[in-house]
Structure 1
Amino acid sequence: MAAYSQNRLRQLQGLVTIDAWHEGVPTEGHVELYAYVNFDEARLGGKAGDEVAFRLLLKRAELRLLQSEPKSFSIDPAKIWRGDQDTSGTTSRSVEKKRARSSDGSASLTIKESPELSLKGGRNENTELVEKLEVTNNRTPAPMTVSFRRPDKSQPSWDVKPGPGAPSLNDMAYLLGQPWHDKDRRLMVMYVNTKHEQNEMLSSIRLCIICKREDLHFYDIMTKDRSGRFTKIEDTSPKLLVIQEYLRSALLAEGLPAPDMESPFSPIYLGEAISEPRRPDYD
């Protein structure tokens, strides 16, 4: 196994899961980048020696590609996944079949689609037979929506937000589960800069899950009292500062960058994965 694959996954346990891999051999010219992402509810603290315990949800997040300098890959803009905004629950269309009598007594058939959604049939005074059939396509409303953006040409990103089918807590929608239907999502095709060594090229493909401080929701917060029991506190308690510090320490323990917990818009890295090759004849 190549050295770059050691400690290639860093993530806040329980809240996010991220995996990244590429198919193809970099020295042959290009690779296809894939990713698996999952969101869940995290339960932090509450262990022996901990003074706090709480649950953590994520209201929105960003999946971002990062490349080390000098950048070893170029990205084909025509082969970037642009996200899936299809969140509707039900769609319908009406197909109209019309059979009319011609002047010589023979019958002719015409078919056209209509936006009308009712089902009806009958003969009119010109002996036309009209049939309207409603065709319905039912889909479960998406729990998440993914939209593509590109703040930097070498660092594309995807914003993940709760969709119309998202779960909620006290009227607050949050992320839960996988943000796309496909088990394995191809994000893009990347072309190799052959001036760089193979290991350098591989280690430069990094996918990160990032959020803002305001995107984190702490709840079911408990602190240990003098008797050693955990008791619940209000969400507005000054002890929330202790909760934030506990989260900061947990992120640092996972090897993730130290977050600024004071600013609501400061970026917080929740997970990072260095892409690894997945091909039977490549190791």
Structure 2
Amino acid sequence: MPEVANLDEAVSFAMPQRGVRGRVVRLGWLLDEVLSAHDYPAPIARTLSEALVLTALLGSMLKEPDGQLTVQAQTESGIVDLLVCDYRSGELRGYIRFDRERLAALPSHRDLFALFGKGHLAITFDLPVAGERYQGIVPLEGGSLAEAAEHYFTQSEQVPSLVRLAVDDTGHVAGGLLVQHLPEGEEGRDRIHTRLDHPEWEHVRMLAETTRPNELFERSLPLKDLLWRLFHEEEVRVLAAVPLVRGCRCSFEHIRSVIARFPASERDEMVDEDGFISVDCEFCSRLFPIKLSDLDD
């Protein structure tokens, strides 16, 4: 069995001379844990896997330890009507809701529009320390989730970006690459002069586009080696890898505290005949029965 490299990790890199930053991610065991919560058909599992990789790519850029990044896709009449993933402190979780009967009748599952139809992509940054919350919303466009993400960065952030997402045939390993151009050189600087055809960006983009899908999910290929293959003629600064884990924040204590905030009259309406208020967490597919009498403690 080949040596496993960089599973469930995000690696950051920068090319200061080119004004470029990026992330490369590979998910493995974490993916299995998230997908095992539901009996997802292969095309739905693949879509959620890509979304989890995208969320890890974006979330690992957060500088606040308790910051949260949420990726959400909603549609009006798609086979998939809701996809939501979030990242906080290296923890990932995700859920996708779909129409199983309509999916079975679909001749092809590879096209983004075939699964989602008309909808929108929302990416939300929550930064509690800074007291800021920012959300960008764009139409869900393109032939893949990666193209939809590129469209988001172009339209909402005005940041030239390249996104690549890939899932292996087994569905147990997925990887992704995000490369972005910050022409002013430093994060946080004014990017009013961003150009999608900037020569520095065109050069790096052409190199990044040579990434093959199997390189993103190849277990035996260290992510640092992948970056060397792509950019070996460039000055690349590779930072320490960020470990990623599956993390659902639901617990009896948390759910009890949320329900306790409701007025007593509303809690009485929620209770079942056995005296419980049952809350279902879609992320981890667990049911939390909270006894009404416990809320008065």
TM-score bucket of the superposed structures, by smaller chain: under 0.3
Higher RCO, 1 vs 2 (CA within 8 Å, ≥6 residues apart): 1
With normalisation by structure 2, the TM-score equals 0.23
More strand by share: 1
Task: Give the number of the structure whose alpha-carbon radius of gyration is greater.
Answer: 1
